[in-house]
């Protein structure tokens, strides 16, 4: 049997194929992705050995000659005023104890806010240079230790004090009343205890110069007392005990050129 192709069927198939092709959506073209611009990271250079500023040179300081602060010192009058040839006040008191052992004298205060004064009664001095060693065993803050000179009695003398913060002061005691001659002044001594220092006084005429560890601290003038004995002093400012030992007190003559 012979097959016959009908042109109408071909047209129908062609139409169907065209419809299918027309309804198939075309793919949406992709939008190109924007490429981010990379900002270069700055390179950090570490200077391990930075250059230091060169200091501006200062002019050389010319040191002027200074006055000799202890002029005219002559022969030794007393080699050691704490030795057996001297006469010091010692004993047990309400404030504490004054003890003399092996050419030293110790002031030991046990009572709150009390003081001890020991005077040497055998030797009288007018113009002199005094030097002594002081061992501070127990001392704090405003506790004080020091020397008296040109002492006429326990109510009349000059007093040179050092507190346990390293400041010095000078007073005149007249008939028991205290007159300030020099207020608290730095000495350069370290604060606290235990500590060993040297104290010195150069006295000529009405002028008295105070020294700590051989360094000049201050000078005062007063004409009231012209001669007398010497003494040692300590005072407790609070409730804590104070113990001060004095040793090797040398007294030398001084020529009065005033």
What is the percent of the chain with per-residue pLDDT over 90, rounded to a whole number?
71
pLDDT of residue 110 exceeding 90? yes
Q: Does any domain span residue 60?
A: no
pLDDT for the residue numbered 160: 98
**pTM for the structure as a whole:** 0.74
Q: Does any domain span residue 9?
A: no
For residue 178, what are the domain limits? 73-254
Mean pLDDT, residues 24-42 taken together:
49
For residue 17, the 8-state DSSP code is H
Q: Does any domain span residue 14?
A: no
Q: Does any domain span residue 224?
A: yes
Q: Does any domain span residue 241?
A: yes
Q: Does any domain span residue 154?
A: yes
Q: What's the pLDDT band for 258 if we cut at 50, 70, 90?
A: low
Show contacts of 149-153: CB within 8 Å, 24+ apart. Answer: 149/125, 149/201, 149/203, 149/208, 149/228, 149/230, 149/231, 150/125, 150/203, 150/225, 150/226, 150/227, 150/228, 151/119, 151/225, 151/228, 151/229, 151/230, 151/231, 152/225, 152/228
Secondary-structure breakdown of the chain: helix, strand, coil percentages, each rounded to the nearest 5: 5, 45, 45
pLDDT for the residue numbered 84: 79
**Three-class secondary structure of residue 221 per DSSP:** strand
pLDDT of residue 123 exceeding 90? yes
Of 85 and 14, the one with more pLDDT? 85
Number of structural domains in the chain: 1
pLDDT for the residue numbered 226: 96
What is the percent of the chain with per-residue pLDDT over 70, rounded to a whole number?
73
pLDDT for the residue numbered 58: 40
pLDDT of residue 15 exceeding 70? no
pLDDT for the residue numbered 53: 42
Mean pLDDT, residues 34-47 taken together:
48
Q: Does any domain span residue 126?
A: yes
Q: Mind listing the pLDDT tens digit for each residue in 206-220?
A: 999 999 999 999 999
Measure CA of the first residue to CA of the last residue in the chain; give whole Å. 169
Q: Mind listing the pLDDT tens digit for each residue in 44-103?
A: 444 443 443 434 444 433 334 445 899 999 999 999 999 978 999 999 999 999 999 999
Mean pLDDT of the chain: 83
CA–CA distances in Å: residue 228 to residues 122, 153, 155, 170, 233 = 10, 9, 12, 17, 16
Q: Mind listing the pLDDT tens digit for each residue in 171-226?
A: 999 999 999 999 999 999 999 999 999 999 999 999 999 999 999 999 999 999 99
> By C-alpha distance, which of 179, 182, 175 is closest to 201?
182
pLDDT for the residue numbered 68: 85
Q: What's the pLDDT band for 257 if we cut at 50, 70, 90?
A: low
Q: Does any domain span residue 183?
A: yes
List the CATH number of the domain containing 160: 2.60.120.560
């Amino acid at each position: 049997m012979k097959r016959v192709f009908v042109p109408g069927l071909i047209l129908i198939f062609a139409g169907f194929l065209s419809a299918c092709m027309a309804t198939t959506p075309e793919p949406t073209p992709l939008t190109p992705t924007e490429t981010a611009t990379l900002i270069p990271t700055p390179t950090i250079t570490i200077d391990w050995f930075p250059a230091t500023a060169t200091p501006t040179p200062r002019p050389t300081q010319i040191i002027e000659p200074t006055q000799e602060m202890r002029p005219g010192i002559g022969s030794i009058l007393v080699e050691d005023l704490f030795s057996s040839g001297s006469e010091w006040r010692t004993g047990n008191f309400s404030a504490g104890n004054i003890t003399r052992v092996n050419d030293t004298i110790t002031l030991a205060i046990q009572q709150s806010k009390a003081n001890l004064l020991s005077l040497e009664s055998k030797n009288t001095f007018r113009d002199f240079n005094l030097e002594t060693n002081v061992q501070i065993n127990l001392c704090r803050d405003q506790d004080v230790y020091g020397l008296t000179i040109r002492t006429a009695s326990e109510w009349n003398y000059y007093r040179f004090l050092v507190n346990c913060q390293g400041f010095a002061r000078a007073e005149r005691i007249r008939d028991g009343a205290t007159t300030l001659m020099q207020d608290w002044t730095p000495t350069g001594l370290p604060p606290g205890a235990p500590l060993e220092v040297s104290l010195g006084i150069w006295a000529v005429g009405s002028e008295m110069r105070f020294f700590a560890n051989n360094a000049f601290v201050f000078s005062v003038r007063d004409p009231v007392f012209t001669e007398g004995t010497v003494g040692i002093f300590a005072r407790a400012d609070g409730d804590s005990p104070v113990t001060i030992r004095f040793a090797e007190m040398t007294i030398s003559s001084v020529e009065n050129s005033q």
